[in-house]
Copies of this chain bind each other. A is one copy, B any other.
Amino acid sequence: MATSTDDASPRDRLLDAAMELFYRDGVSLGVEALCRAAGVSKRSMYQLFGGKDDVLAASLERRMPAYGQRFGLGTQGPRAPREQILYVFEQLEQASTEEGYRGCPFLSALVELKDPAHPASVVALRAKAALTGAFREQAERGGAHDPDLLARQLTLVFDGASARAGAGAETLQGLTTSTATALLDAAGVT
């Protein structure tokens, strides 16, 4: 079930299992089930991490680079600002069609934990702030009237779309890109 190989370290096996199971089943998953899936004893888990909360936080932390890469965050690529922003939503629409999609893992963790001070919430809030920051950077480069406002608006759309698609309440094809387009137009990013 876990994506790591048998010769991966207990730490890696725990983080891989955590990333997969917490995303699929929610953060209320028990320590027993986590350790069983990882093939790691509870004793080892508590030696490697302070407890389940820290495993969850570390597994979200580990997910950040691939997530940023998927959405082209932090890259100063060849795309114009408007195209760079629309690219994020094209990628989101694509991701939402993939088997096992359950929405943005960081937003889901925040919604489920209901505690901004939880160690995993702190990581998730950082990941979400990075997305808004990337939107803001492109909004500024693109000459938006109010880059801050546009970045926050785009994040609302991103999070609403990922939550709704992940929950089976919406299909995103063409929806988020059209919404982002209207907001970019209103903000003067051409």
Q: Chain A residues in contact with chain B, CB under 8 A?
A: 24-26, 28, 102-103, 107-108, 110-112, 114, 116, 121, 125, 128-129, 149, 152-153, 155-161, 163-164, 166-170, 175-176, 178-179, 182-183, 185-187
Contact = CB atoms under 8 A, between A and B. Distances in A.
A159 B164 CA distance: 8
Contact of A169 (B125, B157, B163): B125
Contacts of A155: 160, 164, 170
Contact of A103 (B111, B128, B156, B170): B111
B183 A179 contact: yes
Contact of A121 (B108, B128, B167): B167
Q: Is the interface of A mostly helix, strand, loop or mixed?
A: helix
B167 A107 contact: yes
Contacts of A167: 107, 110-111, 114, 116, 121, 125
A185 to B, nearest CB: 7
B121 A149 contact: no
Contacts of A186: 182, 185-186
